[in-house]
Amino acid sequence: MRPLTIAVASGKGGTGKTTLAVALARAIRDEVTVLDCDVEEPNAALFLRVPFTEEEPVTLPVPEIDKEKCTVCGECSRFCRYNALVTTRSGTTVFPELCHSCGGCALVCPAGAIREVPRLIGRTRSGRAGRLTLVEGELEIGRALVPPLIRAVRRRGAAQGLTIIDCPPGTSCPLVAAAGGADYVLLVTEPTAFGLHDLTLAAASLRELGLPHSVIINRAGLGDDRVEVWCREAGIPVLFRIPFSRAAAEAQSRGEGVLEHIPGLRELLAVLPERLGGDA
Amino acid sequence: MKIALTISDRGPEAMLDLRFGRAAAFLVHDTESGEETIVDNTQNLTAAQGAGIQSAAHVVNAGAAVLITGHCGPKAFQVLQGEGVRVFGSPAATVGEALAAFKAGTLKEILDADVESHW
């Protein structure tokens, strides 16, 4: 099978992204790498039970001012569109939590008073069990800059075989960082007004990114048929439906995953990569 | 001494803007000469982030020793305090009323940030 990257996204949180990503990873018979890019709340490891053997800090460069050299000219503060630097008569102060690490301040400083120092934003962890490799990112508490950490997780992914990306909820920068460049995106939704609302937003983002995508309806049988109607009208295929099942929900809450509790799901998922173009 | 006040509009009946970082402008009142100047702050009114920090720099660079506003968040307060600017909190009032209250000594000094970031 040629390398294939499938991202699992949703827009709305709690629709079953991790549930599906984990079930897909378990149903596949080949080598598979799961990238848990939901770095604000990584939880694929709870279900996949892969022991982590490696951990690496992820840092971003932020400016540090040499007070001896700083002439208080204010060039750096005027340049910074994120207002991470402020120059007043007594000197220049850095607010690293506002910095987006563009490096511009160090470039424009005429006095050479700015050097960049690493600031921890989180960590990646990885491990392997049998044919399964898991990489997750975890954001440091108090940090807000998510995309660079997601990109660090993506860089640790495999170049071969199947890669499954568990995306964060939402439709903006974190989703773009997690799903960007994927061969295919599975949008997991639920047949409710909330599911539909956020699905329309997520689909719009993916359209903008030019990423091929289709919909999987989880908890089918709840709610109404508005998601089905919308998908038909928008021309987005509904790949399949996972019926609402109390037994599956209970198994999930025990950390067992749903694969054994939804009849036919394993067979459906086992051939999904080929169906999505993995053997082309 | 120069006193900076956050204002949401202009003129003698201008109301004090109770927000600091995203005030539309600052009125800088010189108690010795009676001269008043306006420092525009629309750049920070529309800033994506860090409005309080840069607004604080405006106040400092205008030479104000006192700031009268509604509330002040932690980062802005850090900048103001670092430059020795004293901050006074006022309830909703016109600029004239707030200045009179300050001169009468009835405004409360804000000695630490009194609201969270992004208030």
At residue B71, does pLDDT exceed 60?
A: yes
CA distances from B69 to A209, B9, B117 (A): 45, 14, 16
- Structure tokens given for B47: 């800033």
Taking an 8 Å cut-off on Cβ atoms, the answer to whether B50 and A77 are in contact is no
Taking an 8 Å cut-off on Cβ atoms, the answer to whether A89 and B53 are in contact is no
Q: Which has the closest alpha carbon to A219: A252, A179, A185, A180?
A: A252
CA distance A82 to chain B (A): 6
pLDDT one-digit tens code per residue, B35-57: 999 999 988 888 888 899 999 99
CA–CA separation, B3 vs B65, rounded Å? 6
Whether the CB-CB separation of A218 and A239 falls below 8 Å is answered with no
pLDDT at A1: 63
Taking an 8 Å cut-off on Cβ atoms, the answer to whether B61 and A89 are in contact is yes
Question: Which of A81, A90, A95 is nearest residue B53 as measured by Cβ atoms?
Answer: A95
Question: Which of B47, B50, B79 is nearest residue A88 as measured by Cβ atoms?
Answer: B79
Phi, psi angle pair for A89, to nearest 5° = -65, -25
Taking an 8 Å cut-off on Cβ atoms, the answer to whether B82 and A81 are in contact is no
Question: Which of B50, B61, B83 is nearest residue A83 as measured by Cβ atoms?
Answer: B50
pLDDT band of residue A279 (cuts 50, 70, 90) is very low
pLDDT one-digit tens code per residue, A33-79: 999 999 999 999 999 999 999 999 999 999 999 999 999 999 999 99
Output the pTM of the full model. 0.85
Q: How many CB pairs under 8 A join A and B?
A: 41
CA distance B118 to chain A (A): 13
Question: Which of A81, A84, A89 is nearest residue B60 as measured by Cβ atoms?
Answer: A89
The overall average pLDDT reported for chain B is: 91
Taking an 8 Å cut-off on Cβ atoms, the answer to whether A77 and B54 are in contact is yes
Phi, psi angle pair for B36, to nearest 5° = -125, 130
By CB atoms closer than 10 A (0-12, 13-18, 19+), residue A166 is buried
CA count, 13 A, side-chain hemisphere, A45: 20
Which residues in B have their CB inside 8 Å of a CB on A? Answer: 47-51, 53-54, 56-57, 60-61, 75, 78-79, 82-83
pLDDT one-digit tens code per residue, A239-276: 999 999 999 999 999 988 899 999 999 999 999 998 88
pLDDT one-digit tens code per residue, A122-151: 999 999 999 999 999 999 999 989 999 999
Which residues, 6 or more positions from B28, have their beta carbon under 8 angstroms from its beta carbon? Answer: B2, B3, B4, B5, B36, B37, B38, B39, B62, B63, B64
Question: Which of A84, A90, A98 is nearest residue B83 as measured by Cβ atoms?
Answer: A90
CA distance B13 to chain A (A): 31
Q: Which has the closest alpha carbon to A85: A60, A58, A108?
A: A108
